[in-house]
Chains A and B, each alone.
Chain A
Amino acid sequence: MLRTPAKLLSVATAGVLATMALTACAGGATGPADGAKRVDGGTIEYAHQQEPACVFGGWIEQAYLSYQVLDNLTSLDEDGTPVPWLAEEWSASDDGLTWTFTLKEGVEFTDGSPLTAEAVAYNFDHWLGGGNSTAQVWLDGYYESAEAVDDQTLVVNLSAPYPRLADNLTQSYFAIQSQEALETRTAEENCEAPIGTGAFVVEEWNRGENIVLTRNDDYTSWPANAKHEGPANVERINWRFVADGTTRTSALRADEVDALYDVPAIEWEGLDTAGFDLAKYVTPGRPQQLSFDTVEGPFVDENVRKAFAYSLDRETLVETIGKGVIPFEGNGGVSQSTPGYSQKAADAYSYDIDKANELLDTAGWTETDADGYRTKDGETLDVTLPYGAGSIINAEGASILQGVQEQAKEAGFKVELIPVPQSEFFAGAYSTPEERDISAGYWTAVTAGILHINWRQNLPDSPNYNNDAFYNDPVLEDLILAANSEADLDAQNALYAEAQEYIADHALSIGLYDRLSSLAVSPYLKDVWQENAQGGPVFHDAYFVE
C-alpha cells in the first residue's frame, strides 16, 4: 500500500514515463520480402469496433458479419453493377413488375438442405414479416409475393416497378438463410449462428469478446466478383470486438491482429507509412447528417433551420477533425458516393454568420440572454441533439458534434448534446418529436432509393418511423416514388437529385461527413478487400504470406 506522497509521486512519474514509452514505441510491420511464400490455412485475427445483437439483421454492423456466413442473390461489382452470386441470371418483365431469378445448381446450406427457389421465396416473406427490419423497409410498398416456379427459378412479383431491385439485393440485409433452419431452430439459434451457404460458419460467439468463424470446406457459391474460386484460403477468422480505436491500432502494430476495421483518422498516415495496407470505402446512402424536427420546437420555422445551417463551418470542422481522411459532406440527402448525388444540394449552405443572424431576427429570435443565447418571448433558443454514442457516432463524430455545438453558439443556438448508449438508442430513446430537435445519423445503401426510406411520409395508415425530420410532404414523396420506378438510369438520377435539392432548399437535413468503412491490414495478409455494396471486409479470398 502506498504510504507517502513521495512514493505516490514516484509511481505517478513512472506512470507518465511508461505512457511516454508506450506512445513512443509505435512500431509496425515493414512488410514481407519480395517473393514471399504463400501460406495455406491459418487464422485471421480481426479487430472490429462494434458488436451487434445478432449476426443477421438490419444494421450495417450485422451486414459485415453476415456477409461472411450468408450469400445473397446478387453481388455488387466495382463499377456499381450487380453480378451473379446465388442467382446466375435474372430479368425483369417489360412492365417491371415481375422479376425472374435463376439460381445456381448444386448449392447447399451448411445444414445440408439444398438451395431452392422455394427456400429463397421463404426468405423474402421472412424479411417482410419482420425477419430483417431494413430489408422490410426497402421492399415495403413494392413487394407483393415470391414464388418458386421450379427448384431453380424464382419469380418475385412487385406492385410497382423497381428497376434497381437487383442492386439492392446485394446488401447483406437480403442474405439468404436455410428455410429449414428458420423453420425448425429457435430465434436465438438463428440469431447467434444463422445457417447460410457462405464461405464461413459461426463456430462460437463469446459475447463481449469475439466470434469465431470457421471455413465452410464445401463452399461452392462464391460471387462472380470473387478473387478466387473455391472455399476460403484461411481456416478460421477470430472476429474480435475491440471498441477502442487506439487499442485496435496498437494491436495491429504489435502483430496481435492481422486486420482492423474503422481506422482512426489520426492513425491513418502513421499506419500507411509503416507499411500497412489501408482501404477506405465511402459508404453510399445517407451520410452522417443532421435532420431537423419539423413539427415541434424552433426548427418548425424554416428560417431557423437555415440559420442553423449557415451558422456552421462544417467543412473546416470535418477537415480538421477528420485529418483529411473523413470526407466533408454538405448534402443531407445522400453521400457523394451514391449514384444520383446532387452537388447543388451539397453546396446549398456554407458558413455565413450574418445570414444566420438575419434569418434568426426574421424568425423573431431577436433578443439574447446573458450567455449570448437567443431568446424569443422569454424562451431560450434551446435545441437538443441526442446521438447514438459509440454505435452510430464514433469518437471522431462526437468531436465533430461538439464543434457543431460551439459553432452554432455564435449565432445564439444553445445546443444540448446527449450521448445515448447503444442499448437505449436501439430501444427507441429520443425518437419522438417531443424528445429531440435534431437527429444525427446515417443509413447506408447502394442507391439513392434510401431517400424513400428516410423521407416517405409518416401517415397513420402507413407509418414511417425512419422519417427523422417528421416531415410529411406529398411533393417530396412523389418525386422519390417517381425516381424509384424510373427505368432510365439518367432520368432516375435526375429525379433523385431533384429530391435532394428539395431537401436542401427547405433545410430539412444538412450533411456533416461521409460515413466510412475503413480497413488496415497487415502486409502479411493478402487479398482482403472491401465488398462494393457496404464496404465490409471480404475474407474469403484472403491468404497469408511469410
Chain B
Amino acid sequence: MVWPQTSLSMLTRLRDGAEQRCWDQFGALYRPAIFRFCRRLGLQDADADDATQRVLQQVADAFERRPPDLSAGRFRSWLSQVARHTSLKIIQRDHRHRGSGRSEVLQQLNAVAADEDQLQAMWAAEERVALYRRAAAEVRGNCTPAVWAAFEQTSVAGRSIEQVATELGVSAGVVYASRSRVLKRIRHLVEELMRSDTDDHRETV
C-alpha cells in the first residue's frame, strides 16, 4: 500500500515551493477536518463552509509569505488557532449584521476557545477522523465495490452478515473475509501515516 504522501512531508513540500498536486492533497485531508472543527465550534453548515475556505486561504497565504515552522505540534496548534479566530470573526460579523440571536453562540465560542488544551484536543480528534476517512477512501479505491460494501454495510451500517451476503450474492464467508481485509488495510494505512509523522517529528523535536 502506498499512501500518496505523509502529511508532514506534504507540508514540507508545500513550504518549499508548492505544487498544485500537494495543495490538492492538503485540501483533501484538511478541508473536511477544518469543516467539522468549525461546526464543533458552533458554526452552521454554510458558515462552516465559508470558514473552511478562509482558513485554507490563510494557510496558503502563510505558506507563500514565509515558510512556517513545521516542528511537532506547532503547525497543528497554529492551524487550530487560525480556525478558531476565523470562526469567531464569522460569528461576530453575523452578530453585527443580523442583530441578536448569536450572542449565546459567541459566548460559547469564547468559552471553548479560551481553553487551549481543549481546543487542541478537539482539533486532534477531527484530524484523526479525517485521517481515517481519507485512508478509507484510498482503500475503497483499491478494492472491488462488493468487497467495500461487505465492510461498510456490515460494520459501519451495522447490518447482518447473512443479509448483506444474500444481497451481494456471495457466501457469508466472503463477507467475513472481505470486511476484515478492508479493516486491516485501513488500519495499516493509518498506522503507516502516523508512524511517518512521528518519524518526521522525531527529527524536528
Task: Note whether A and B form a binding pair.
Answer: no
A residues contacting B by CB (< 8 A) are: none
B residues contacting A by CB (< 8 A) are: none
